[in-house]
Chain A
């Protein structure tokens, strides 16, 4: 009877019990303690429940325990397939010593002061592979405090010293008197202190004592994802709602100047056409009418400087700048004396690398539903977002109100990969909802999603190595040219505050190779393109550059690329371990099939150590590269849920191959040229390799795995292609046309 009661407007609850596929169908029988039921047939909408304050059974803000022993954890991470909803729940349950089979989760209310991620300024956000590593200590300390309250309550009830008690899963045990009490029982009478007890970190469980962590644990969200019952924001049904879509400016920053809406308004069902800051909204009784109305709009847009931008000539300019060494840019790493190392070098090697704009292509097109209160100073929002705090704060700012007037309902995300962090849908949906005085469900067409892509920046690189007479690398210089994600997604001020260094663009540009003199510099471009975080962020291209160039240096000295790296990484035992493991697993150095070749790459990404070997072949006639097999070894520290790490790593290989071979957004006249999956293809099943992964957990804090392996894939392929053809592939993507151009066939 200790389940929480939810917001009055919406009735329903999704339980996430790993032992049963409870879904909307299972509502009534599964939710015995709930005070509500779905009463409207077909009203399938049930948001993830927000725990109310001070509800019965609440032990602190994070957990509620029912008399029947059911445990509901408030887990403040967006679930977009990366598995950290389950992962973080496992961490909590482990430290609380909960019976995992009784655990389900809910999304907490927007209270960053309680639920914020310490590594992201205390905001409730889910990005940067930051959920487990960010909440690792915080959640364990919270959970330990809950356990402490339960033990204390039992001690008081039995009048025994605290020191005589221990816990078994969901049970407090007094061994001396052979008594035990379940957590559910205790929750019924426990006096929860106004302030939860403070736990010392040294009292937290050790890896050797884990019951839950480290074991394969079915993900809590999967039962709902096999029968259509999982709810994404696009599935929201709100009483009295209308539908909307937008036609957005074809060039970032443009505004509608003249809107001819005559034809759009003639489409049956279209209710209203509303010019917005950077788009024109079409509101209709049905989504099909809204889409049709959008197609009928005639809009002219204001001109902006970006109108003249072209990505083909732009990339040439980026590369030209990368090569002009007197243009210093902003120094990111300055170690030793690089100028001296290059002046004294017996040999200098230089190469230029590049990457194109790439699009997230998340399967769920951007969408949001909102209603604005009659006074215009409150709102309810239904969204699947990586940026809960960002959206709640932005909505409050836009409505000139306080965040407590914004109710945000979080849903599953149909792919995130960095796309769903900002509040970029609110400047559209809030004015529309206000204009209509009805809830508005706004859905972008796929074409709009492509045309308004926020992309991983296009980059140009120059990388130079100084070598002494023995071939030892004495100097390393890497210059990264591209637009700023921090400035676009954040503010100019944020970039200034970081001394002009864009930590998203530069991510992954540092490496562990023990080179005495190094410089890494950022040369910022301002072209007005919408640039964003994308799975793997900067590491996606920076590791391509580093791992390809290290391979070049090894090849120039006729050294085995693995042996060469091991020498440079002699002080990095965790790197050595993953490299040696993948070498052994893959049979590196042994013969492969005719026309096939192996490539190697290593990197530490989001503090996870990864090594990869890939086997490829090339159809010289078509320029199509086939990836046959990939072997990877990973050390992310403690592995929470091994099968989930394997799943993420498989996804990294597939996603990584997709960006290696296929993905490119081209821009002409400031406009994205692609439209849909027919001209922005992504990897399909027939193109996937076999994947063989070895997890090598170590007793180090758990680090990110959702994007750790992706950056290794492109250099692995490029290095294998070098072995096969003797040519270097320095531009992403390695599309068939480019491969043919490089091989000269």
Chain B
């Protein structure tokens, strides 16, 4: 049975089993491949998307759960890659291999949407579930701080 929801403000309808992880629906059914498969266990954050504005791990979210809801992926975060976080990410040259970065940015965007002026501890606590194997944490932290300052 088709499940209907919106992705990046566009209607989507997919024919997938209700328990199918949203991750695979987004990546392979809808071809929005910016969202990444990292662990499939909610341990790394590479698959982070927004569900009605909140950061969720799409690998742990059955597609049935998103029926009628609004999903935002990295592709829908901004119209021209110009979200303050994306600008800060570019300015500070954050990514290395880049694979985890969509998840990092989506995780950070949910924080700034809820808390315009997070402390360093707030940021670290919020971002601690997102692994970056290359070790870009120092730059992620600085980029989130910069974006917050510039009014994300």
Contacts and interface: CB of A to CB of B under 8 A. Distances in A.
Contact of B44 (A42, A234, A363, A416): A363
Given A228-B33, A363-B97, A446-B39, A691 B81 contact: no
B36 A364 contact: yes
A685 B127 contact: yes
B73 A228 contact: yes
B16 A286 contact: yes
B128 A287 contact: no
Interface stretch (A121-129, A219-227, A428-436): A219-227
B113 interface: no
B133 interface: yes
Interface in B99-146: 99-102, 105, 124-125, 127-141
Contacts of A43: 31
B35 A228 contact: yes
Interface stretch (A197-205, A296-304, A632-640, A675-683): A675-683
B150 interface: no
Contacts of A446: 38-41
Contacts of A44: 31-33
A42 B75 CA distance: 12
Given A227-B74, A228-B74, A685-B128, A268 B137 contact: no
A219 B97 contact: no
B43 interface: yes
Contacts of B33: 44, 228, 231, 234-235, 237
A42 B37 contact: no
Nearest to B141: A685
A416 B97 CA distance: 8
Contacts of A643: 93
Interface residues of B, number: 61
Nearest to A289: B17
A236 to B, nearest CB: 9
Given A291-B40, A446-B40, 18 more contacts: A81-B96, A83-B96, A218-B93, A227-B77, A228-B33, A228-B73, A234-B37, A237-B33, A287-B24, A363-B44, A365-B37, A412-B97, A652-B135, A676-B40, A676-B41, A684-B131, A686-B125, A686-B128
Interface of B: 16-17, 20-21, 24, 27-41, 43-44, 46, 73-75, 77-78, 80-81, 86, 89-90, 93-102, 105, 124-125, 127-141
29 contacts: A21-B80, A25-B81, A44-B31, A81-B95, A81-B97, A81-B134, A218-B90, A224-B98, A225-B95, A225-B98, A228-B32, A229-B34, A234-B37, A235-B27, A243-B28, A286-B29, A288-B20, A365-B37, A414-B97, A415-B97, A415-B99, A415-B133, A650-B135, A653-B135, A684-B129, A684-B131, A685-B132, A685-B137, A685-B141
Interface of A: 21, 23, 25, 42-44, 80-83, 218-219, 221-232, 234-235, 237, 243, 268, 286-288, 291, 361-365, 412-417, 443, 445-447, 643-644, 647-648, 650-655, 658, 676-678, 682-686, 688, 690-691
The 9 A-B residue pairs with the shortest CB-CB distance, nearest first, are A228-B34, A654-B135, A81-B96, A414-B99, A225-B98, A81-B97, A651-B135, A228-B74, A235-B33
